[in-house]
Chains A and B, each alone.
Chain A
């Protein structure tokens, strides 16, 4: 079997085994799946180092004239995405083993995980748009099944995810058919469309809808927050947080840079940047007021997509590099955050922010890894999130897109604000008495979180390395040269900031400050004084302040416009699913009003219908 084909087929076949493992032995299924995922990882490392490869098999002639080829193609960009898909798969499965230990879930879970790996590899390697779409649809179906394994309320969220993604997949199919009709080929590497005529613009927009719905940008975002609370954290970390971002943005980059070659300053580029900017700002505003940790994180999973769409859509080389780097960074810190949320959920039994508090001492590893990821997503230097946002800012300035620049920077400040709320509510704050005996999660669950946190720091301090190794060759070496890039390999490196020096100096400063502590006041401190407020010493439960109302001023006191925005936000702002749902309901209500069960009404309808028919027949309309 060809090496590209094997990476799709092996996990698909191997995924059959866990079906037959009894529920109480699901650990065995987990370890087995971990081994399969590790094999995929090893293979993708080898493929990554092995250079370009391709495999194709002629299947049949579509419609009697179009040769339909099952084509797979590996080049730098797809190899790099495949590598990270495999890394996240290994981490998620490792985490799942501990996470599902005491939960009543079938071993089938691991089958779905393995099939997801297989389908994701198919999407990344496919060189034929229709083949890509088939794997894409399989992913949607698998997401539906995995979501359905969640806690209370999973039916609703699984249905919503399936509806939104299914409809956007249908849009993609339409776009692909348009391309096929106008261009006569579906092979991605051979397809080059200048988005000038209305047909190509329509095709691009349809494909764009598919890409951003998968990545979770507005207005097709609402399935992510909907599923956040009921779905297991391991699934959230694997699918919406990392895999769907990687694949969605991978496809977006392929269509906008490679197939359609959207130029900077064109109308489509502007449209993409507007979608990006709106996603950044509205999703982060929603995140600010959430009361549930997982739901809050899911709104950030939406918000961050905005940076990627903005960067890739701008058509400016340095911003494209930044957007793709942000895709990678976001997958890293966002899945780290969801894994941390899962750890808290496992030990506390809830992710409601106002019931948590003081977990920093109880779960130090979870706290430190989540704090690092939170700093990364807020773009605090020297973490990785800052490095990629910095590149996007530079690109926005270069293109003189000042409004988008302001939105991007301000969105980052709001992100920080909502993570201050998380850090306070979950980890600092005061601890409710009932959590006194909570312990850190098992090492198998800590390991993925530690690994991701270390990546956050390393990709920030040594940002040059991932940029030169993964991102820049993907853009300049492969297909994406369609666009007139200039000398992209030198753009980000010229005048790049020195995170290494900054970090070293901050660390020197911190060490020095701690030394000052140690040598003054004899380094001792007392902790036996109770907090004393307004003349009273109060007990712990009385003075617990959860962070859920940190930003009440913003939502309540700033006038009716802001208030309306947030009121709608709780139900899902600008949520196409709800709006279409309301319209559909309207139609149904109208039909219900007609079907009132009165024989005379039905007779009247029949008579009217006959009348119209007779009229049309007589006058030969």
Chain B
């Protein structure tokens, strides 16, 4: 692949444009389902796009006392990283023989960059609530990172390699991870971690609109806010895709598999939306206890079962 080819893939398909469109559509599904659960009509399908375009044209206000450069650049850094994670995952899914850029560890680390960017942005905002949100986001992050890593390692141990290519091929021939006990346990852990990574209820502690008025997002306005939102939208695509790749045999656009791929994606999104709509927000120490307690035990059991071959 040439450098130009890389850039086209990164910017158009399956990179930025594609991921943003699918991600924004997913946020629409989320909003629509939420609305129906609450007996509302919900927005039309183009609402997220309209919101984004409108925000791009609005005035940007940076509070006095904020560290301007860091505050404005960080959302863009997060977006670039989220897009990269999406590109890597899509490319390896569409053609498992072509290993692009990196393996599980690389993607796992790249997926922390959007959260890190939000933390630094919130810290640079100069707003105490933004800083509070940043510290909560960080605590949440090292809360879920441990079980998430162990859930991912369940697959890695079973396959014996960090490479996506081998993980997908292994599942192709030996059945998906979800077909084994350890796979199911790790899958459950990964779904909860995804919920936290996306900052959704019950783990929307860093944003907590009713409590700290948006936390890390509090001072963002105009184009930076649009970027922050796009960031969330792309991560909404990346996390389910990552989980499908690790535990559910990946996605593909060849023949009838296009249908199953979409169904897998929708299934995970529905699980996330249902959890989101049926739970209250927990406190940060509850969240930490949840991830270092039951989730840790569950993922440890999964990992032990995987080393034993179950």
Q: Across chains A and B, which 4 residue pairs bring their CB atoms closest together, nearest first?
A: A509-B80, A513-B76, A497-B102, A557-B285
A406 to B79 CA separation, bound complex (whole angstroms): 28
Q: What interface size band does chain B fall in?
A: 35 or more
Task: Give 21 A-B contacts (CB < 8 Å), ordered by A residue.
Answer: A393-B105, A394-B162, A402-B157, A413-B142, A424-B120, A428-B123, A429-B123, A429-B131, A498-B102, A508-B10, A512-B11, A513-B75, A521-B57, A521-B59, A524-B60, A525-B61, A525-B62, A531-B63, A531-B219, A547-B123, A554-B288
Which of B126, B134, B146 has the most chain A CB atoms closer than 10 A to its own CB?
B126
Q: Which of the candidate stretches B27-35, B111-119, B178-186 sits at the interface with the other chain?
A: B111-119
A223 to B106 CA separation, bound complex (whole angstroms): 35
What mask results when residues 81 to 113 of chain B are scored 1 for a CB within 8 Å of chain A, else 0? 101100100000000000111110110011011
Known: A509-B76, A513-B80, A516-B56. Is A361-B62 also a contact (CB below 8 A)? no
The residue of chain B having its C-beta at the shortest distance from the C-beta of A424 within the complex is: B123
A521 to B59 CA separation, bound complex (whole angstroms): 6
A429 contact set on B, CB distance < 8 A: 123, 126, 131
Which of B6, B56, B72, B109 has the most chain A CB atoms closer than 10 A to its own CB?
B109
Interface residues in A481-527 by Cβ distance below 8 A to B read: 495, 497-498, 501-502, 504-510, 512-514, 516-517, 520-521, 524-527
A208 to B14 CA separation, bound complex (whole angstroms): 51
A557 contact set on B, CB distance < 8 A: 285, 288
Known: A416-B116, A526-B62, A545-B131. Is A505-B10 also a contact (CB below 8 A)? yes
Interface residues in B186-220 by Cβ distance below 8 A to A read: 219
A430, A505, A521: the one contacting B60 at CB < 8 Å is: A521
A1 to B153 CA separation, bound complex (whole angstroms): 57
**Quick check: B109 and A380 within 8 Å, CB to CB?**
yes
A525 contact set on B, CB distance < 8 A: 59-62, 68, 72, 222
A551 interfacial contact with B, CB 8 Å: yes
What mask results when residues 211 to 255 of chain B are scored 1 for a CB within 8 Å of chain A, else 0? 000000001001110010000000000000000000000000000
The residue of chain A having its C-beta at the shortest distance from the C-beta of B292 within the complex is: A558
B76, B81, B222: the one contacting A521 at CB < 8 Å is: B222
A152 interfacial contact with B, CB 8 Å: no
**Quick check: A520 and B57 within 8 Å, CB to CB?**
yes
A540 to B285 CA separation, bound complex (whole angstroms): 29
B7 interfacial contact with A, CB 8 Å: yes
A423 to B70 CA separation, bound complex (whole angstroms): 11
**Quick check: A380 and B116 within 8 Å, CB to CB?**
yes
**Quick check: A416 and B112 within 8 Å, CB to CB?**
yes
A516 to B119 CA separation, bound complex (whole angstroms): 22
Interface residues in A449-504 by Cβ distance below 8 A to B read: 495, 497-498, 501-502, 504
A495 to B166 CA separation, bound complex (whole angstroms): 12
B277 interfacial contact with A, CB 8 Å: no
B56, B65, B145, B284: the one contacting A553 at CB < 8 Å is: B284
Minimal beta-carbon separation of A367 from chain B (angstroms): 9
B6, B73, B113: the one contacting A505 at CB < 8 Å is: B6
B47 interfacial contact with A, CB 8 Å: no
Known: A402-B157, A406-B153. Is A381-B106 also a contact (CB below 8 A)? yes
Residues of A bordering B, CB below 8 Å? 358, 360-361, 379-381, 386, 390, 393-394, 397, 400, 402, 405-406, 409-410, 413-414, 416-417, 420-421, 423-424, 427-431, 495, 497-498, 501-502, 504-510, 512-514, 516-517, 520-521, 524-531, 533, 540, 543, 545, 547, 550-551, 553-554, 557-558
**Quick check: B126 and A531 within 8 Å, CB to CB?**
yes
Given contacts A397-B160, A423-B123, A543-B128, 10 further A-B contacts (CB under 8 A): A360-B67, A410-B149, A413-B141, A413-B146, A423-B120, A505-B101, A506-B77, A525-B222, A531-B63, A550-B139
Task: Please report whether the interface of chain B is mostly helix, strand, loop or mixed according to DSSP.
Answer: helix
Which of A381, A386, A558 has the most chain B CB atoms closer than 10 A to its own CB?
A381
The residue of chain B having its C-beta at the shortest distance from the C-beta of A360 within the complex is: B67
B227 contact set on A, CB distance < 8 A: 513, 516
B87 contact set on A, CB distance < 8 A: 505
Known: A380-B112, A402-B157. Is A527-B80 also a contact (CB below 8 A)? no
A394 contact set on B, CB distance < 8 A: 162
Minimal beta-carbon separation of A451 from chain B (angstroms): 23
A402, A410, A514, A558: the one contacting B285 at CB < 8 Å is: A558
A194 to B39 CA separation, bound complex (whole angstroms): 75
A517 to B57 CA separation, bound complex (whole angstroms): 10
A405, A420, A528: the one contacting B120 at CB < 8 Å is: A420
**Quick check: B142 and A417 within 8 Å, CB to CB?**
yes
B269 interfacial contact with A, CB 8 Å: no
Minimal beta-carbon separation of B183 from chain A (angstroms): 16
**Quick check: A393 and B162 within 8 Å, CB to CB?**
yes
**Quick check: A495 and B131 within 8 Å, CB to CB?**
no
**Quick check: A510 and B307 within 8 Å, CB to CB?**
no
B7, B63, B70, B139: the one contacting A530 at CB < 8 Å is: B63
A390 contact set on B, CB distance < 8 A: 105-106
B281 interfacial contact with A, CB 8 Å: no
B138 contact set on A, CB distance < 8 A: 416-417, 420-421, 550-551
A524 to B288 CA separation, bound complex (whole angstroms): 40
B100 contact set on A, CB distance < 8 A: 501
**Quick check: A527 and B223 within 8 Å, CB to CB?**
no
Known: A505-B87, A513-B79, A558-B289. Is A409-B149 also a contact (CB below 8 A)? yes
B307 contact set on A, CB distance < 8 A: 400, 402
B6, B128, B224: the one contacting A545 at CB < 8 Å is: B128
Minimal beta-carbon separation of B309 from chain A (angstroms): 12
A520 to B72 CA separation, bound complex (whole angstroms): 14
The residue of chain A having its C-beta at the shortest distance from the C-beta of B131 within the complex is: A545
A397, A421, A497, A507: the one contacting B156 at CB < 8 Å is: A397
A406 to B56 CA separation, bound complex (whole angstroms): 42
**Quick check: A527 and B64 within 8 Å, CB to CB?**
yes
What mask results when residues 135 to 148 of chain B are scored 1 for a CB within 8 Å of chain A, else 0? 10011011001100
Known: A516-B223, A545-B128. Is A505-B7 also a contact (CB below 8 A)? yes
**Quick check: A520 and B56 within 8 Å, CB to CB?**
yes
A506 contact set on B, CB distance < 8 A: 77, 80-81, 84
A161 to B127 CA separation, bound complex (whole angstroms): 42
A530 to B219 CA separation, bound complex (whole angstroms): 11
**Quick check: B110 and A414 within 8 Å, CB to CB?**
no
B298 interfacial contact with A, CB 8 Å: no
Which of A380, A405, A420 has the most chain B CB atoms closer than 10 A to its own CB?
A420
A393 to B58 CA separation, bound complex (whole angstroms): 46
A554 contact set on B, CB distance < 8 A: 139, 288
A424 contact set on B, CB distance < 8 A: 120, 123, 131, 134
Which of A379, A400, A409 has the most chain B CB atoms closer than 10 A to its own CB?
A409
B56, B109, B123: the one contacting A381 at CB < 8 Å is: B109
**Quick check: B110 and A531 within 8 Å, CB to CB?**
no
The residue of chain B having its C-beta at the shortest distance from the C-beta of A364 within the complex is: B69
Known: A413-B141, A498-B102. Is A402-B303 also a contact (CB below 8 A)? yes
Which of B11, B100, B124, B138 has the most chain A CB atoms closer than 10 A to its own CB?
B138
Minimal beta-carbon separation of A512 from chain B (angstroms): 7
**Quick check: A504 and B6 within 8 Å, CB to CB?**
yes
A533 to B132 CA separation, bound complex (whole angstroms): 13
B66 interfacial contact with A, CB 8 Å: yes
Minimal beta-carbon separation of A612 from chain B (angstroms): 59
A540 to B68 CA separation, bound complex (whole angstroms): 16
Which of A423, A424, A540 has the most chain B CB atoms closer than 10 A to its own CB?
A424
A381, A501, A558: the one contacting B288 at CB < 8 Å is: A558
B167 interfacial contact with A, CB 8 Å: no
A553 to B285 CA separation, bound complex (whole angstroms): 6
Known: A509-B16, A520-B57, A528-B64. Is A397-B162 also a contact (CB below 8 A)? yes
**Quick check: B285 and A527 within 8 Å, CB to CB?**
no
Which of A424, A428, A498, A501 has the most chain B CB atoms closer than 10 A to its own CB?
A428
